[in-house]
Amino acid sequence: MKISKIHIENFRGLKNIDLTPSQMNCVIGENNAGKSSVLLALKLFLNGSKISINDYYDSNLPIVIEVTFNSIREKDLLKIADEEHRSRIISLIKDDELKFQRKYDLDQSSELLCYKKVPINEIYTEHWYNENLKGKTGSTLKEFMKQTYSLNDNQVSNIRTQTIAKDE
């Protein structure tokens, strides 16, 4: 697993930066260029420790630290001891990539969030189709799928149960 992108907003002297680290990195620059701030932001991302009001570039905006991991392999996931946590993480990985955000609100509290793709259109949400597939079987189920999701006869030909319809 590798860090493929780091995004930092509103932290100390860093208003809004994006970093794309490589295998080996050397952080150099003049005094007060933000070298230590980048490293401290990564530390804050990892442990969520307390900050002070002086850590905000603009005290009216939250601090946001985003880290994207890629090249996630099975051996990386096996390091997560708790099976439930591991399965939750696995469900969030898309194209071998996982993106987290540590956000410090204006009250200096922090939360760690994970990006997850979710449907924009309600008809693709689990709750919606559970409610709307209820009681439908056979040709009624096939017709519902054709009309709702713009599927053709070939695409609905093997839909026989609500479980198959949900998968489709």
Q: Which residue has the higher pLDDT, 116 or 49?
A: 49
Q: Provide mean pLDDT across the span 91-112.
A: 92
* Banded model confidence at residue 150, pLDDT cuts 50, 70, 90: confident
pLDDT of residue 61: 97
* Banded model confidence at residue 56, pLDDT cuts 50, 70, 90: very high
User: What are the pLDDT digits (tens) for 17-30?
Assistant: 999 999 899 889 89
The ranges assigned to domains in the chain are 2-114, 122-167
Tokens of 122: 């309600």
Q: Kindly list the strands in the beta sheet with 110-114, ordered across the sheet, starting from the edge strand earlier in the chain.
A: 14-19, 2-11, 63-70, 97-104, 110-114
In the CATH scheme, what architecture does the domain 2-114 have? 3-Layer(aba) Sandwich (3.40)
Pick from 140, 149, 131: which is nearest to 161 by CA? 140
Instruction: Give percent of the chain above pLDDT 70.
Output: 99
Tokens of 153: 């006869």
Q: Which residue has the higher pLDDT, 154 or 67?
A: 67
Tokens of 30: 């003049």
- On average, the pLDDT of the chain sits at 91
Query: Would you say residue 31 has pLDDT above 90?
Result: yes
Q: Provide mean pLDDT across the span 38-64.
A: 96
Query: Would you say residue 91 has pLDDT above 90?
Result: no
